[in-house]
Structure 1
Amino acid sequence: MTPRSPGRDNRLVSTVTFPRIVATDLDGTLLTSTGSVSPRTRQALRAARAAGAEIVFVTARAPRGVQEIAAQAEATGTAICSNGAVVYDLATDEITAISPLDPQAARKVAEALALALPDVGLAVETGRNVLIEAAYTRRIEHDVAFYREVDSVFGVDQPIVKLLALSPSRTADEMYAAVSDTIGDLAEVTYSGLEGLLEISAPGVTKAATLDRLCRERGVGAGDVVAFGDMPNDLAVLLYAGAGYAMANAHEMVLAAAEHRTLSNDEDGVAVVLEDLLGRAA
């Protein structure tokens, strides 16, 4: 499925002032490989805010996964989480909007997954917790406290913010190729890593669509957005923004499609671009 980019008709980059929104992915983008915000990046974000920009995290992470990062980055505004399915207020620790996958559609997606990937294991991100079936063997250390083991992810009355599909025998690229056409318009299918994990959201729910809605609420055009990302789930955001930058460490699909590139996450690639833009706007 080709990433959809709302607002592309209004992508002319502003050359007069500093962008009004800095939309950035976290893992592999803003964060170093150790999962931290470097001093240089923190300073660049501080300078961007001083120039009038709003920093918006646009991440696959659930809200619980962004609080520590927000503290490091000195961010207190809005985060777009769970690939666009959740809008989260960093200052109040409140989920202000949620766009879950319809349970019946999710069941149909699960059936398609099982046919194409017999060893698939399922989990559901609810926004605050993760429901996991026995075959879903992926464990993230800092998330273990939020896991709840269930016989079936469809037997619990919780919102399906993201349906997670894990295959121990395939890469995410291979999984995507195997199921994307079958799932079709039932859901949005993407991924944010190379391991065998797909992330599935409600139709039309993407990072870019939610960012577009946030921009419209603020009266901001796409041309006043600068964006950064590294994985296929970031691509629509990079295409939406007036200036979308792929990290040097980005997935080959992202590198091939993005108009701009910057240095890797471990080379402060986000900070390098922001410093340059700040210099031009001075």
Structure 2
Amino acid sequence: MIASDLDGTLLRNDGTLSPRTLRALRAAEGAGAEIVIVTARPPRFVDRLAEATGLAGTAVCSNGALVYDIATRTVVSSRVLSLSTARRVATALAAAVPGIGFALETGNQVLYEPAYRLRLSEDIGAERPVPSLADLWLTEAPVTKLLAWSERIDADALLAAARPGVGSEVQLTHSGGRGLLEISARGVTKAGTLSALCAGRGIDASEVIAFGDMPNDLSVLDWAGTGYAMANAHPAVLAAVPVHTVSNEEDGVALVVERLFGDADRAAAPSSDSAPGRAVSPR
């Protein structure tokens, strides 16, 4: 199995999948590997990517809260965040970080209150304002993530500020969004969901190659048999993950996949320079 993050990893900085990377993934599939997208993104983003590239298969979305069948556009399983927990966490964070704003990600929509002023071009059409913070907790939609945003504090500092007060109650992480903290139900991680998915398929962690670039990818990169940090990764990821590939702009995922699955012979017996535990040279 090849398990890859999207933004900053599989995708270029403009959000596209390069022809080279798409060819490499197709070659790996042809050699018998399963491709699984493992992303903080919601299913609606994966749908748009699938429409543009023809990718199918399975995606682990919303940092592990959802398992999504891309071909049928069906949520296979979910681990949602209760509204009562989201409200308690928001109350604690608002006291710790003045001016912080909140939104709820449902997989289909982003519901946001007035203090949450972060707007993403890719969410146009999915964003829904509510009149006040109290109105957020009236939704009947299942919540995959509570989003907390600060205009003044970057994501690393926001994560550090949140951990002492609420870190035992929920799963805290970030994926590089400016001043954006992502909050899931306790125990929900990319690795936990991917591990369960692999167990159902009879795939051992040693048979998984993973790629990522941000703190929310660390659980997967640590769990997989071989985890590759992108050259453009967050400093904490580069420090924690010993095996690196080149940047997303240089098709770092494709470079590794080509060496493993470039032809039938190499797919059957990967060469020593691409074996687990070895760093990939930029050239």
Q: Give yes or no for the alignment of 1:27 onto 2:7.
A: yes
Amino acid at match of 1:38: S
Residue equivalent to 2:156: 173
Residue equivalent to 1:229: 212
Residue equivalent to 2:279: none
- Alpha-carbon RMSD: 1.2
Residue equivalent to 2:258: 275
Q: Give yes or no for the alignment of 1:49 onto 2:49.
A: no
Amino acid at match of 1:51: A
1:55 and 1:75 in contact (8 A); partners too = no
- Equivalence map 1:1-20=2 (5 Å): none
Residue equivalent to 1:63: 43
CA distance in 2 between partners of 1:281 and 1:182 (Å): 48
- Pick one of 87, 93, 115 that aligns with 1:113: 93
- Per the TM alignment, residue 68 of structure 1 is displaced from its structure 2 partner at its CA by 2.5
- What per-residue deviation string (whole Å, max 9, x for no partner) do you get for residues 134-177 of structure 1? 11111112312111111231122221210000000010011011
- What per-residue deviation string (whole Å, max 9, x for no partner) do you get for residues 187-242 of structure 1? 00000015100000001101110000100010000000000000000010000100
Q: Give yes or no for the alignment of 1:76 onto 2:56.
A: yes
- Pick one of 130, 137, 159 that aligns with 2:142: 159
CA distance in 2 between partners of 1:175 and 1:181 (Å): 11
CA distance in 2 between partners of 1:274 and 1:195 (Å): 30
Greater shift in the superposed pair: 216-225 or 69-78:
69-78
- What per-residue deviation string (whole Å, max 9, x for no partner) do you get for residues 79-98 of structure 1? 11110101111101111211
Identity %: 55
Residue equivalent to 2:121: 141
- Per the TM alignment, residue 271 of structure 1 is displaced from its structure 2 partner at its CA by 0.4
Aligned to 1:134, the other structure's residue is in SS state: coil
1:45 and 1:73 in contact (8 A); partners too = no
1:42 and 1:72 in contact (8 A); partners too = no
- Pick one of 214, 238, 242 that aligns with 2:225: 242
Q: TM-score, normalised by structure 1?
A: 0.90
Greater shift in the superposed pair: 143-152 or 244-253:
143-152
Aligned to 1:234, the other structure's residue is in SS state: helix
CA distance in 2 between partners of 1:187 and 1:129 (Å): 21
Answer 1 or 2: higher relative contact order, Cα 8 Å, separation at least 6: 1
Q: How many residues align?
A: 262
After TM superposition, the runs of 4+ consecutive aligned structure 1 residues lying more than 6 A away are none
CA distance in 2 between partners of 1:42 and 1:72 (Å): 11
CA distance in 2 between partners of 1:203 and 1:95 (Å): 20
- What per-residue deviation string (whole Å, max 9, x for no partner) do you get for residues 121-144 of structure 1? 000001211111011111112312
Amino acid at match of 1:141: S
Unaligned stretches of 5+ residues in structure 1: 1-20
- Per the TM alignment, residue 276 of structure 1 is displaced from its structure 2 partner at its CA by 1.4
Q: TM-score, normalised by structure 2?
A: 0.90
Aligned to 2:161, the other structure's residue is in SS state: helix
Residue equivalent to 2:72: 92
CA distance in 2 between partners of 1:143 and 1:32 (Å): 18
Q: Give yes or no for the alignment of 1:123 onto 2:106.
A: no
* Structure 1 residues 57 and 33: alpha-carbon distance in aligned structure 2, compared to 1, 3 A threshold: same
* Structure 1 residues 89 and 232: alpha-carbon distance in aligned structure 2, compared to 1, 3 A threshold: same
CA distance in 2 between partners of 1:144 and 1:187 (Å): 28
Residue equivalent to 2:281: none
Aligned to 1:66, the other structure's residue is in SS state: helix
